Amino acid sequence: MKNDKAAKIIEKAVKKGRKALSEYESKQLLAAYGIPITKEILLKDKDGLARATERIGFPLVMKGCSADIAHKTEKGLIHVDIRTVTEARKAFREIMAGMEGFEGGVLVQEMVKGRRELVMGLTRDPQFGPCVMFGLGGIFTEILRDVSFRRAPLEAYDAREMMKEIKGHKILEAVRGMEAADEKRLTEMLISIGRIGLENPDVMEIDLNPVILSGAKPVVVDALVVLK
């Protein structure tokens, strides 16, 4: 049961000798596996900008998008909370200037609102192969290492257990006026990430960071797929 759309995205990048997929490609790959991603349009030039902003709707986010640039924030390639076409044009010019020398474009993306950030991912263990990660976003992952892993393929039980296993799991419940997270959707996402690893040997690592809970619904806001 190979996923043709996903395979094509990967094959194209591998042929070019690339070590990673761009954010846009990464998300197309995720979408091919039914993982919910931000609504977004990739622009190569400014001609389509007005139409893109209209389709995504304000406020929106614009990002430099290239497989060669890992740290977008540090290079000033992310502009958030853009509310007018004028702002969008300005952001477009600045991002293109900042991307000088890199192949890529500008990603016009819906701005997902939510106070809870999660991370998901995939790593390949030398002994056990593809393993799926789940954790809370931001400092919880990087400083506290509050994450859990399960080997692919995951059963629904495994996915639920790995969510329960993190210390901050209560954040997924209905707390401080926020809805309980859509556990079924999260479970499906974790299972799908495992499938991506099992079905695509060229995919070495995946980072979905952050996955924002928009109300109860998880949405992948940024993604990185590392290739062999």
Partner 1 sequence: MPAGKKQSRPAGSSQFPDADFERIFHPESIAILGVSSDENAVGFGTGMLRVLKEMGFEGRIYPVNPRGGSVFGQKIYTRVEDIPEKVDFAVIAVAAKLVPQALEDCLKIGVAGAEILSSGFSELGTKEGLELENEICEIASRGIRVVGPNCFGIYCPRSGLTMLPGPDLTRQSGSVAFVAQSGGMAIDFAHAGEWRGIRFSKMVSLGNGADLREAELLNYLAGDRETEVISMYIEGIKDGDVFFRELKAAAAHKPVIIFKGGLSKAGARSVASHTASMGGSGVIWSSILKQTGAVQVFDSQELMQASAAFSLLPKRSFRNISVIGGGGAIGVAACDIAERYGIEIPPLASDIRERIEAILPRPGSSALNPVDVANPLVAPSILKEVLMQAAQDEHIELQIIVSLLFHYNPYALMMGVPISEIVPYKELVEAVDDVINKTGKPVVAVLPNARRGPQNMDITELIALTRREYVRRGIPVFDELHEAIRAIAHMNTYYGRRENEKR
Q: How far is the CB of 134 from partner 1 (least distance, A)?
A: 10
Does 21 participate in binding partner 1 (rule CB under 8 A)?
no
CA angle centred on 44, ends 104 and 52, rounded to 5°? 125
Does 29 participate in binding partner 1 (rule CB under 8 A)?
no
Q: What is the spatial distance between Cα 99 and Cα 24, in angstroms, rounded to a whole number?
A: 16
Q: How far is the CB of 59 from partner 1 (least distance, A)?
A: 27
Q: Which is nearer to partner 1, 18 or 55 (CB)?
A: 18
Q: Which of 50, 57, 128, 202 binds partner 1 (CB under 8 A)?
A: 128
Describe the crossing of helices 183-199 and 156-165 by its angle, rounded to 10 degrees: 110
Instruction: Choose the binding region for partner 1 from 44-52, 71-79, 90-98, 140-148 (rule: CB under 8 A).
Output: 140-148
Q: What is the spatial distance between Cα 59 and Cα 81, in angstroms, rounded to a whole number?
A: 5
Q: What is the spatial distance between Cα 100 and Cα 117, in angstroms, rounded to a whole number?
A: 31
Q: Tell which residue, 207, 202, 204, has the closest CA to residue 15.
A: 202
Does 148 participate in binding partner 1 (rule CB under 8 A)?
yes
Using CB under 8 A, list all residues that contact partner 1: 19-20, 70, 119, 121-129, 131, 133, 135, 141-142, 145, 147-151, 157-158, 161-162, 165, 204-207, 209, 224, 226
